[in-house]
Amino acid sequence: MIRRVALGAALVVLTASGCGGADSTEAPTSTLTVFAAASLKNVFIGLEKDFETANPGVDVQFSFAGSSDLAAQLLAGAPADVFAAADQPTMDKVVQGGRITATPATFATNVLTLVTAPGNPKGITGIDDLDGAALVVCAPQVPCGRATKKVADAAGQTLRPVSEESSVADVLTKVTSGQADAGLVYVTDAAGAGAKVTSVPIPQASAAVNTYPIAVVADSKQAETAAKFTALVTGPSGRAALATAGFGAP
């Protein structure tokens, strides 16, 4: 009899302990997957905490890469809830492919600048002063690559890069790591790099203003939550964070 009582008491303690542990653990109940252009990384990570605080139980998971790579993944069936691209043509491909059916909302603009090693040791003054410099740019199919072509055309220059990268983040890395003398990146990436680079403004940048669209993926299983995230990005808090990072208004 004593053994039974002891065993029963032990079970009660274990059950109570188990319940207490479950109540004290705030595990996420849903995951929101956001595909976003590499140039949005710092801003979106900054917004993540505010969003998760306002939406208890939601865990935001980001996939940052070149917009064209993300679009290709979506068109191949990759699961996602939100897509934020670095230009409208990339978003249009995903819309035409049926993965997005709602009208995307534009939320920011961006332009290019030249970046060099700190102090600009090569003395580069602009896009027409790159002879002999190891230049890195985005690949033509990437939004920043399309912008690069427009800027070069506006300057009447034919660029001869030593490397074409799949994202603006990769271009920046080539410069900050010393693998390139100069790179064409967004002004926001140059600002985010701080003292790691020197920025050389280019007047022709106004010929290629990229507009950023965002939308909920059509087959999202978290459509309501996804809509809340897009509302945060396009709303006052998102606009303020984007402006601080150097993005322009749409």
| pLDDT, position 165 | 97
CA distance linking residue 2 with residue 93, whole number of Å: 73
Domains annotated on the chain, with CATH? 30-109+211-245 (3.40.190.10), 112-207 (3.40.190.10)
- Number of helices and strands (H, E) in the chain? 9, 10
Determine what percent of the chain is predicted with pLDDT higher than 90: 88
Contact 124, 200 (CB under 8 A): yes
With 0-12 / 13-18 / 19 or more C-beta atoms within 10 angstroms meaning exposed / middle / buried, residue 20 is exposed
| pLDDT, position 192 | 94
DSSP 53-101: HHSTTEEEEEEEE-HHHHHHHHHTT---SEEE-SSHHHHHHHHHTTS--
**HSE on the CB side for 128, CA within 13 Å?**
8
What pTM value is reported for the model? 0.84
pLDDT of 69 strictly over 90: yes
| pLDDT, position 29 | 85
| pLDDT, position 27 | 67
In tens, the pLDDT along 19-56 reads 444 443 456 789 999 999 999 999 999 999 999 999 99
In tens, the pLDDT along 192-219 reads 999 999 999 999 999 999 999 999 999 9
β-strands 135-138, 198-200: how paired? unpaired
In tens, the pLDDT along 113-127 reads 999 999 999 999 999
For the residues 183-196, what does the mean pLDDT come to?
96
User: Mean pLDDT lowest for which of 3-12, 27-36, 102-111, 113-122?
Assistant: 3-12
Residues 6+ apart with CB under 8 A from 243: 249
